[in-house]
Structure 1
C-alpha cells in the first residue's frame, strides 16, 4: 500500500453535526487531560487531499486522484514531489465550491496536518513544512494549555461556533452569510497514527451539507480575494 488515508476524526459529544456513520468521543475530556497544549483550527469546507511522493490523493488513498478540481494541485505536486521524501502533506482543497463559498480566500490549498512514517507531526512541524512548500495552514482559532473546567471549555468552543471564521463564508443554498463549518482541536505535539482518536477532535455545525446535488456534478471554481496574485492557477500567472 502506498499510503494510508486520513483517519476518521471523532466528534465532540456536543457537536451537533453528526450523521449515522460518524463517531463520537464521549471520553474526550479524559483525553484532553493528557494533552499539555491544544490547538484549535477552523474546519474548512473543502476536499481532504494528500500530497506524497506517490501522487495527489483524495479521501481514499487507493489510487491518485485525477479530478478536475485537483488539476492545479497536481501541477504544484510535480514541482515538489522529489522533495517530499516520506512526508505526507494533508490539506483542505478549496478550489471547488462545496456548501460554503468563501469571499476572502487568499489561497486554494490550506495545510492542516503532516504525517511521516506512521507519526502525525507536531503543529510546529506542520507550519514549518507548509512554509517550506509556500502553502498556508488552516486558520488557527486559538492555542491553550490543558483545560481545567469542562463546562467553561465547552462554552468557549460553542461561542466560537457562532462566528463567521476567517474567510467571510456564504451559504450556497441561501446565498446568505453563515457561521464557520466547524472546529478541529488537536494535540500540539506529535503522536503515533494509532493514537489519532485520542489526540484530534472536532465540532461540526448541524445540517452543514445543504446542496441538493453532490457538489461534483456542477462544480465551480472558488474565487480568490486577489485574483491574478501569487496564489491563482499556474496558467493565469
Structure 2
C-alpha cells in the first residue's frame, strides 16, 4: 500500500507561506512535549518501501534526479519491514539552495510502521543508521514551552544555506495527529528559481567527505581512497578491502568491518581515539577491537575451547564481521583455513537471549555484575538460559559487594582528573601519590615496593567495602591482572575506566601538566598500551577526550 506524505503545516511565525500552504491551527499538540528541531532541507520529498519508492506524488514519473535514490533503495529496500515506510528528502538535484557538503543524497526524517504510526525520534535515528541513511542536523531539542517558543521565534539561520527548520515531537504519533505534532518554519522567498527544477537541467549538489562513510553503511562498494581521506588515516590496505566479503549487510556493523579491513595494520591503541571524534566512541572502539582481535582467528586454537573463546570475543565484536575481516586479511591459505574452521564453530556460539532483560530491575552496579557473571557462566557452559542466569547470580543481586574502578591509560590522558571527580568513592589508591610520599613522583627505582604497598592498601580498602579507585596507568593485561587478583579475592565488581585520547592531544596535555613525563617515557607507554576489551572486567567505561564516559560496555 502506497501512502501520500501529508503536507507539513507552517508555524505561526513562518514567513515562507505560499498561497496554497497551510498553517498549524494551534500549538497545543507541541506544548509540554519534548520536541526535536531539525534543519529543513531543500530537496524532493521521497518515500521508500520494501518493494519500491515514490516522490511526493504517488504516480511520480521517471526523472534523472531520482536514479540515485532508486539505486539506494536497491541496496536497502530488503531491510525495510513489509508495510513500513521511510520518508525523507532526495537531495541529488539542486533546487533553490546549493549544497556542497552533504553526507548523502538521501536524508531520512521519519519512519512509519505497518500500523501507520510514526516512530519515536530515538527509534528513528538508529533504525535509519542501520539502513545507512543519515538524518538532518538537529538544531535544538527540549520541552516545548513559552521559553522554547521564544527561542525558536528568534533562532538565526544562514538563509543563504538553510531553508528553515522542522519541529516534531520526540515521541511517536499516529498519522491522524500529524498536523498537531509536526510543523515547519521556512525562509521567505524560498523558491527563487525562474524555471522549476523539474524542467531544468539537473545540477547535482555536492557530497562531503563523510559521504564515503554513509555510502558504506548503505551497502555501496567501498572506496579505499575516499574512506582513508574521510577518517584521516593515510594509506590502508586496499587489497584487503577488495577481498572483504559482506561484513554486516548495512549500517555501523558494515562500516566497522570495512574500516577494520582497510586499517588492519594500524596499531589498535592509536586507532580508537583517532576515529572517535568522527565516528563516536562506540563505533571507533569496535573498529579498534576488530583490528586487535581478528589475527587470533588466523592461528590454531583448541577445538574444545573454541565456543568459550568465541563467546568472549562476541562481547567486543560481531562474530560475523570479525570472521569477514579475518578472511580478507588472512596472510596465507593456512590462515584462511583456520578462519573458515572458526566460522563453523561460531554458528554455535550465539549469545543467550533475554539476559539483559532478566536484570533490568536491579540497580546499575548489581545489574552489571549479574550480567557479566552470567555471560561468563554461559561461555563456560555452566548455564543455558536467562532463567538459569537469574538463579546462578542470586548472591550479587543486592549489590552488597565492594566495587573497584581501575583507571587505564597513558600518563597525562586525564585518568586522575576523571577519578577525582567520581562521586561516592570511599578510598583512592594512586601509585603516583605513593611515589611522591617516598620523595618524588618521577622516581621509578622502587616501583616493585610501591606496587606492593598499593596492592596492600587496595586489599584493605576492598575488605572494608564501598568503592575504591585504583589510579595507575595499567597499560597491559599483565599489569591489570595483579589488581584483578586482589579484587577477585574480595569478590569486588571490577570496572575498567579506559581513557582513549588521540596521541597529539596526549602530547599537548602532557606538556601542560604540573608533573609532565619525559617525551621518551610517554612514547614508550603508548607503544606498550593495550586497551582492555569488553568482558575483561565486569564493566568497561570508555572515556574520550571530553573526559566523560562515551560508552559503557
Please state how far the C-alpha of 1:155 moved relative to its aligned partner.
3.3
Which residue number corresponds to residue 89 of structure 1? 86
Please state how far the C-alpha of 1:92 moved relative to its aligned partner.
1.0
Indicate the SS of the match to 2:29: helix
For the 8 Å contact 1:46–1:93, the answer to whether it is kept is yes
- Aligned pairs, number: 217
For the 8 Å contact 1:228–1:236, the answer to whether it is kept is no
Please state how far the C-alpha of 1:125 moved relative to its aligned partner.
1.5
| Cα 1:231–1:189 shift into 2, 3 Å | closer
Please, which of 220, 223, 234 is the counterpart of residue 203 of structure 2? 220
Please state how far the C-alpha of 1:228 moved relative to its aligned partner.
8.4
Which residue number corresponds to residue 61 of structure 1? 58
Which residue number corresponds to residue 138 of structure 1? 136
User: Does 1:207 pair with 2:201?
Assistant: no
For the 8 Å contact 1:108–1:231, the answer to whether it is kept is no
Q: Rg larger in 1 or in 2?
A: 2
Please state how far the C-alpha of 1:6 moved relative to its aligned partner.
0.9
User: Does 1:11 pair with 2:10?
Assistant: yes
More strand by share: 1
CA-based RMSD of the aligned residues comes to 2.3
Mapped to 1, the partners of 2:20 and 2:175 lie a distance apart of: 21
Indicate the SS of the match to 1:79: helix
Indicate the SS of the match to 2:125: helix
For the 8 Å contact 2:103–2:207, the answer to whether it is kept is yes
5+ residue gaps, structure 1, are 165-176
| Cα 1:213–1:226 shift into 2, 3 Å | same
Please, which of 18, 33, 36 is the counterpart of residue 36 of structure 1? 33
| Cα 1:236–1:207 shift into 2, 3 Å | farther
User: Does 1:102 pair with 2:99?
Assistant: yes
| Cα 1:105–1:5 shift into 2, 3 Å | same
Mapped to 2, the partners of 1:179 and 1:221 lie a distance apart of: 16
Which residue number corresponds to residue 71 of structure 1? 67
For the 8 Å contact 1:186–1:200, the answer to whether it is kept is yes
Mapped to 2, the partners of 1:77 and 1:88 lie a distance apart of: 12
Which residue number corresponds to residue 24 of structure 1? 23
- Please give the per-residue CA displacement for 1:184-211, whole angstroms capped at 9, x wherever unaligned: 0001111110110010011111110000
Please state how far the C-alpha of 1:179 moved relative to its aligned partner.
4.8
Indicate the SS of the match to 1:201: strand
Which residue number corresponds to residue 156 of structure 1? 151
Mapped to 1, the partners of 2:211 and 2:186 lie a distance apart of: 33
5+ residue gaps, structure 2, are 224-553
Indicate the SS of the match to 2:197: coil
Please state how far the C-alpha of 1:83 moved relative to its aligned partner.
2.0
Please state how far the C-alpha of 1:108 moved relative to its aligned partner.
1.2
Mapped to 2, the partners of 1:26 and 1:101 lie a distance apart of: 32
Please state how far the C-alpha of 1:51 moved relative to its aligned partner.
0.7
Indicate the SS of the match to 2:154: helix
Mapped to 2, the partners of 1:68 and 1:235 lie a distance apart of: 22
Normalization by structure 1: what TM-score?
A: 0.84
- Please give the per-residue CA displacement for 1:148-190, whole angstroms capped at 9, x wherever unaligned: x2xx434311332x322xxxxxxxxxxxx71521110001111
The farther-off stretch of 102-111 and 114-123 is: 102-111
More helix by share: 2
Which residue number corresponds to residue 163 of structure 2? 181
For the 8 Å contact 1:15–1:202, the answer to whether it is kept is yes
For the 8 Å contact 2:109–2:135, the answer to whether it is kept is yes
For the 8 Å contact 1:46–1:96, the answer to whether it is kept is yes
Please state how far the C-alpha of 1:128 moved relative to its aligned partner.
1.5
For the 8 Å contact 2:134–2:214, the answer to whether it is kept is no
Ranked by relative contact order (alpha carbons within 8 Å, sequence separation 6 or more), the top structure is: 1
Please, which of 95, 108, 111 is the counterpart of residue 111 of structure 1? 108
| Cα 1:123–1:225 shift into 2, 3 Å | same
